[in-house]
Amino acid sequence: MKVDSQVIEDIIVLEFKGDIANDFFDQIKKRIFEIIVSDQRKIILNLHLAQGADKRSCDFLIKMKKIMSKYDRELVICGCSNKLTKIAEVTGIASVYKMYDSFEDAKKYFHGASSAV
């Protein structure tokens, strides 16, 4: 799994490639703590290139919601395949995060034109 990050306008975009498992935690924890200490408050987790997720990763994403809220940060998820969408629904991620079909829809949410899935 690989994590790329970039800033687009006032949003940090984290893009995952591969399975969201095992080394996911080290990479995402590091990036989340970097974001928390920065001035960035808007985060998009783009999963359009992600291939799967394990239970541990899903549990971590749910716990991460509390951390983000505590530090006044907001994360939304976009680009999930049908498989990842079903995983998000079964694990409760879909009820914790706003989820969008595309990056553009997620970006629109942060700029006031929300259309959540």
pLDDT 10s digits, 95-117 = 999 999 999 999 999 988 544 55
Question: Which tokens hold the place of 62?
Answer: 């749910």
Beta bridge partners of 18: 50
Tokens at residue 23, please? 């080394």
| More confidently predicted of 63 and 79 | 79
Answer whether residue 117 is part of any domain. Answer: no
Q: Name the pLDDT band for 23 (thresholds 50, 70, 90).
A: low
- Count structural domains, the chain: 1
Using DSSP, state whether 95 is helix, strand or coil.
helix
Domain assignment present for residue 81? The answer is yes
The range of the structural domain enclosing residue 85 comes to 2-110
116 in a domain, yes or no?
Answer: no
pTM of the model: 0.85
Residue type present at position 87: I
Contact 47, 77 (CB under 8 A): yes
- Spatial distance between the Cα atoms of 45 and 35, rounded to a whole number of angstroms: 13
CATH number of the domain bearing residue 39: 3.30.750.24
pLDDT given for residue 109 in this prediction: 96
